[in-house]
Amino acid sequence: MSIYREYDIRGIFEKELNEASVVRIGYALGKRIKGEYVAVGYDARSHSPILFEYLVRGLNAGGKKILDMGMVPTPVNYFANYQEWEGITPDASVMITGSHNPSEYNGFKITIDKAPFFGEDIYELGQEVESMDMPRETNRSVTKIDALSRYVDFMVKEFSHLRGMKERIVYDCGNGVAGIVTQRIFDGLGLNARGIYTDPDGTFPNHHPDPSVEHNLKDIKKLLKKEGDIAFAYDGDADRIAVLTHKNNIKGDMMALLYSLKIKNPVVVGEVKCSQVMYDELERRGGRAVMYKTGHSNLKVKMKEIGADLACEVSGHVFFKNRYFGYDDAIYATLRMLELVQDGIDLDAELAKLPEIFSTEEIKIETTEVQKFKIIMKVKELLKNPPKDFPHIREIINVDGVRVVFDKGWGLVRASNTTPVLVTRFESTSKKELKTYENVLNALIEKAKQDL
């Protein structure tokens, strides 16, 4: 059951995702999808085509016909849900990807009726799969579609106004699937762009494809220094982006502030890890900012619920409903950022206008799947009667884990929904207070562990 996560299904190839488990997953999923057609794509991992065959067998046994898009980035898989393919609109899509996980991992991101399939639905699917026998298989029903070219043509048309940009663009695909689409779009727009590690290779020979980790950006930073005006980096399946200038590594929450400059009265959904500066600045500009749970599925659902224009995660997931379809797409986010540059917006100057803050990266504390949620509950209990020397608490936000708002900043403790860890993050207008907030909340976590 450990492969059934909050946002997707993810596990180790052969050990957890093998012929028996994946055929059954396909069959059980096929029975849950009301329509007839499922669009399926996969990432650059060597075992992704093998999992594709297993999944197709299960989906066919469950009464579904497959639209095969081959190797594509995750955003292209999402995009296929909004297109007609010879009169057929997919009723669901599955992306076979391990995202930014190590090369032995793989998984499934599922969309049904243009909405994410996640949370309790995934856990229930898992329970069903674990108790069922192998299904009786039927004839193979697979139709190939060229979703990649349709996506490239869409982007080139939507951003035709970027033609003639003189800025030197450099980018790092990390040997993920971004490389099969980025240069085609940049060439189609006549942009001055140079990429590194653009060949898809599921062993990720140059560096791990996770642009939220500073170490993975060292090569693109060198290239930016020598040959670029702006740089981009992508994760393994191209739904997460890093944006780099000569002065800044722009995190997702700060990207949202920049993008919202060109959206009238923007409504933006942020996660609990986003800077308070983002929420305050959006409100100051006359927009609306809503804090919600971490996770791409959660944010998509919340965006639709409140009619938001934009959503973001600090890690680089950026979701556009404004002029787009409402899912996280690092390629689309790249082109929207280039729009800002073309419009004369100095990204570094805009960021320099914001209040100075000090913050930590995400800090991960190892625990167990069982203990992590118990620790969070205990921390919440301890906060009702904190130690006498504990800093003054202005507010406690329980949207996802617990975000403790102090006089000069905040601290967050939440349980990861994908790994057996607690995730903490801290922010303050004072370096000294930042360390204080980190120390007192860490002490509370330790006490919670001891009390359990």
Tens-place pLDDT, residues 361-385: 889 999 998 899 999 999 999 999 9
* pLDDT one-digit tens code per residue, 127-163: 999 999 999 999 999 999 999 999 999 999 999 999 9
pLDDT band at 272 (very low <50, low <70, confident <90, very high): very high
Cβ(211)–Cβ(316) below 8 Å: yes
Per-residue model confidence (pLDDT) at position 4: 85
Check whether 1 has a pLDDT greater than 80.
no
Whole-number Å distance between alpha carbons of 254 and 250: 6
The one-letter amino acid code at 390 reads F
Longest dimension (CA), the chain: 69
As a whole number, mean pLDDT of residues 316-326 equals 97
As a whole number, mean pLDDT of residues 193-209 equals 96
Collapsed DSSP state (helix, strand, coil) of residue 119 = coil
**Rounded to the nearest 5°, which phi and psi values hold at 53?**
-65, -45
- DSSP element (H, E) containing 404: strand 402-406
Per-residue model confidence (pLDDT) at position 279: 97
As a whole number, mean pLDDT of residues 6-23 equals 93
Here the tokens at position 66 are 């497959």
Per-residue model confidence (pLDDT) at position 102: 86
- Say if domain 9-147 classifies as CATH 3.60.15.10: no
The DSSP symbol for 165 reads -
Same fold, 9-147 and 358-451: no
- Lookup result for tokens 């028996």: 20
Q: What is the dihedral of CA 289, 118, 235, 341, to 10 degrees?
A: -30
Q: Which residues are catalytic?
A: 99
In what order do the strands lie in the sheet containing 193-196?
Answer: 193-196, 169-172, 230-234, 241-244, 249-250
Per-residue model confidence (pLDDT) at position 5: 84
As a whole number, mean pLDDT of residues 183-211 equals 96
Check whether 285 has a pLDDT greater than 80.
yes
* pLDDT one-digit tens code per residue, 380-432: 999 999 999 999 999 999 999 999 999 999 999 999 877 789 999 999 999 99
Per-residue model confidence (pLDDT) at position 420: 86
* pLDDT one-digit tens code per residue, 83-105: 999 999 999 999 999 988 889 99
The one-letter amino acid code at 167 reads E
Whole-number Å distance between alpha carbons of 452 and 447: 9
Per-residue model confidence (pLDDT) at position 44: 95
As a whole number, mean pLDDT of residues 313-326 equals 97
What CATH topology corresponds to 157-352? Answer: Alpha-D-Glucose-1,6-Bisphosphate; Chain A, domain 3 (3.40.120)
Contacts (Cβ under 8 Å, ≥6 apart) of 375 = 367, 415, 422, 445, 448, 449, 452
Per-residue model confidence (pLDDT) at position 100: 82
* pLDDT one-digit tens code per residue, 219-252: 999 999 999 999 999 999 999 999 999 999 999 9
Whole-number Å distance between alpha carbons of 273 and 253: 9
Per-residue model confidence (pLDDT) at position 358: 96
Q: Where are the domains of the chain?
A: 9-147, 157-352, 358-451
Collapsed DSSP state (helix, strand, coil) of residue 37 = strand
Check whether 255 has a pLDDT greater than 90.
yes
What CATH topology corresponds to 358-451? Answer: TATA-Binding Protein (3.30.310)
The one-letter amino acid code at 225 reads K
Here the tokens at position 349 are 């100057």
Per-residue model confidence (pLDDT) at position 71: 98
Per the prediction, the chain carries an average pLDDT of 96
* pLDDT one-digit tens code per residue, 35-62: 999 999 999 999 999 999 999 999 999 9
Q: Give the whole-number percent of the chain exceeding pLDDT 90.
A: 94
As a whole number, mean pLDDT of residues 185-192 equals 98
